[in-house]
Structure 1
Amino acid sequence: MTEAVPQAKTQGLSPCAEIVRDHDHDRWLTLLFAAPHMREDLAALYAFAHEIGKTRERVSEPMMGEIRLQWWRESIEGIYDGLARKHPVVAGLADLVARHKPDRSVFIDLIDARAAELYDEGPVDFDGLLAYADQTGGALNRMAAFLCGAQDEAHLSAAHAVGRAWALTGILRALAFQAAMQRITLPKDALEEAGIAPESLYRGQFSPDMIPIIRRIANAAQEAIRKARTQNGSYPAQARSPMLLAVLARDYLDRLAHAGDDPFAAPFDRGALTRQLKLFWAVLRGRF
Structure 2
Amino acid sequence: MTQQDTTIDPCLTTLRDTDRDRYLACLLAPADKRPALAALYAFNAEIARIRDLVREPLPGEVRMQWWRDLLEGTPHGESLANPVASALLDAIEAHNLPRQTLINMIEARIFDLYDDVFEDRNALEGYAGETASALIQLASIVLSPEDAARNAEAAGHAGVAQAMAGMLLLMPLHRRRGQVYIPGDMLAAAGLDRESFLEGRDKERISAAIEIFCTHAQDHLASARRVAIAKSVFPAFIPVALADSAISAAKRAGASLLEKPIQPSQLQRQWLLAKASFLKRF
Q: TM-score, normalised by structure 1?
A: 0.86
Higher helix share: 2
Farther-moved stretch of structure 1 (104-113 vs 135-144): 135-144
Q: 1:110 is matched with which residue?
A: 105
Farther-moved stretch of structure 1 (146-155 vs 32-41): 146-155
1:216 aligns with 2:212: yes
Aligned residue for 1:151, secondary structure, equals helix
Give the CA RMSD over aligned residues: 2.4
Change (3 A) 1:202 1:59: same
Q: 1:3 is matched with which residue?
A: none
Amino acid at match of 2:270: Q
Alignment size in residue pairs: 277
In the alignment, the residues of structure 1 paired with residue 272 and residue 52 of structure 2 have an alpha-carbon distance, to the nearest angstrom, of 31
Q: 2:246 touches 2:263 (CA, 8 Å); kept in 1?
A: no
Farther-moved stretch of structure 1 (276-285 vs 127-136): 276-285
Q: 2:11 touches 2:38 (CA, 8 Å); kept in 1?
A: yes
In the alignment, the residues of structure 1 paired with residue 71 and residue 184 of structure 2 have an alpha-carbon distance, to the nearest angstrom, of 33
In the alignment, the residues of structure 2 paired with residue 10 and residue 249 of structure 1 have an alpha-carbon distance, to the nearest angstrom, of 28
Structure 2: gaps (5+ residues): none
Q: 1:79 touches 1:94 (CA, 8 Å); kept in 2?
A: no
1:130 aligns with 2:125: yes
Aligned residue for 1:78, secondary structure, equals coil
Q: Deviations over 1:83-128 (max 9, x none)?
A: 9622111111111012111121011101111123323212011221
In the TM superposition, 1:166-245 aligns within 5 A as: 166-192=162-188, 194-196=190-192, 198-199=194-195, 201-202=197-198, 207-232=203-228, 235-245=229-239
Q: 1:286 is matched with which residue?
A: 280
Q: 2:125 touches 2:160 (CA, 8 Å); kept in 1?
A: yes
Amino acid at match of 1:9: T
Change (3 A) 1:77 1:271: same
Q: 1:255 touches 1:267 (CA, 8 Å); kept in 2?
A: no
Farther-moved stretch of structure 1 (197-206 vs 208-217): 197-206
Q: Deviations over 1:187-242 (max 9, x none)?
A: 1243345443544554665622022321222222222222222233xx33232112
Q: 2:172 touches 2:261 (CA, 8 Å); kept in 1?
A: no
In the alignment, the residues of structure 2 paired with residue 215 and residue 151 of structure 1 have an alpha-carbon distance, to the nearest angstrom, of 37
Post-superposition, which runs of at least 4 consecutive aligned residues in structure 1 deviate over 6 A? none
Amino acid at match of 1:287: R
In the alignment, the residues of structure 1 paired with residue 15 and residue 202 of structure 2 have an alpha-carbon distance, to the nearest angstrom, of 32
In the alignment, the residues of structure 2 paired with residue 141 and residue 201 of structure 1 have an alpha-carbon distance, to the nearest angstrom, of 31
Q: Deviations over 1:3-59 (max 9, x none)?
A: xxxxx2233242111111111111122112100111111111011111111222322
Q: 1:4 is matched with which residue?
A: none
Q: 2:257 is matched with which residue?
A: 263
Q: 1:20 touches 1:47 (CA, 8 Å); kept in 2?
A: yes
Q: 2:117 touches 2:182 (CA, 8 Å); kept in 1?
A: yes
Q: CA deviation at 1:74?
A: 0.6
Percent identical pairs in the alignment equals 32
Q: TM-score, normalised by structure 2?
A: 0.88
In the alignment, the residues of structure 1 paired with residue 225 and residue 55 of structure 2 have an alpha-carbon distance, to the nearest angstrom, of 41
Q: 2:133 touches 2:158 (CA, 8 Å); kept in 1?
A: yes
Q: 1:165 is matched with which residue?
A: 161
Match of 2:50 among 34, 51, 55: 55
In the alignment, the residues of structure 1 paired with residue 53 and residue 262 of structure 2 have an alpha-carbon distance, to the nearest angstrom, of 23
